[in-house]
A and B are shown apart, each in its own frame.
Chain A
Amino acid sequence: MALDFEKIFQAALDAGVEAARPGGEAAVAWVRESAKANEATLRSIAEGVAKRQISKETAEMLLRESARALQSEAAALSVIIKASAQAAINAFLNSLFGALSSALKLAL
């Protein structure tokens, strides 16, 4: 029975990389969006303080909560990364074991 392992693994790897692509793009987009949102919040706080619309006390509270929002954004990023990794593993294994199962049926 001829079994081209190299070809099977390459196909599985390609399937894994392809499955991870949407997650990779979503992660990059989310990091950009999160950075922009954080910048906008900090800018608004600075402007509010400069215009005396926000006191030092309130500004400190808002800065603390902005940092907390950044934590939430990091948690969402973590989910995006985990989900894309899972998609890549699933695609890799499905491709690999689909090919190996076919080979095994032929061998039997």
Chain B
Amino acid sequence: MRYYFAVQTYSASGAFLTMRTLVVLLLFGAALTGCAIPLSAYDQASIDRTTEISRSILALYQEMMMIDPDERADAVRGSLRDAHGDIETQIRLHLLREQARALNDEGALVAENLLASWQAFSMNHFSGEETALTDATLEIERQILERHLRSAFVAEESKKLARGGTQTNQTPE
């Protein structure tokens, strides 16, 4: 009788242990699922703002480079002055929106860098420095701004990967 009872207990505890292991593992998994990597969700509005900024920047550089190099300084102080101000406003607004998004340190950093570079270039355009508006300088400035903008697009599009999506390196239209 005692022997029979012992076998029953052993057998029951074996099954109990297996089930307990499963339940513990499931609870552990549920806890792990809650511990996500800090990364904001994909935001189409961020892509749209970056596209608009890209359009404005590329259009301004295109316009500056169409103007005779000797007349660029006057154009910057005249007809192109507002465009410089508008672009800074667009970037500042974008930065504010990126900073307001939770878990978006990288997006905010790229926007801060874009603003800092834009301010440096804008200041350069109005500086009156001899080589501030040459073809070479403008081409390099545009390259650098494109690198910031591409980084913004890639950073946002890559967030789709977290959900098992595919990344598309969207470029400005």
Contacts and interface: CB of A to CB of B under 8 A. Distances in A.
24 contacts: A3-B22, A34-B147, A37-B143, A44-B139, A48-B137, A53-B137, A54-B136, A54-B140, A57-B129, A62-B141, A72-B110, A72-B152, A73-B147, A73-B151, A75-B105, A75-B107, A76-B106, A79-B159, A80-B167, A82-B37, A91-B164, A93-B32, A100-B25, A101-B26
B117 interface: yes
Contact of B147 (A52, A69, A84, A86): A69
B137 A62 contact: yes
Contact of A47 (B23, B132, B136): B136
Interface of A: 1, 3, 19, 22-23, 26, 30, 33-34, 37-38, 40-41, 44-45, 47-48, 51-55, 57-58, 61-62, 64-66, 68-73, 75-76, 78-80, 82-87, 89-91, 93, 96-97, 100-101, 103-104, 107-108
Shortest 5 CB-CB contacts between residues of A and residues of B: A48-B136, A53-B136, A69-B147, A72-B151, A86-B162
B37 A30 contact: no
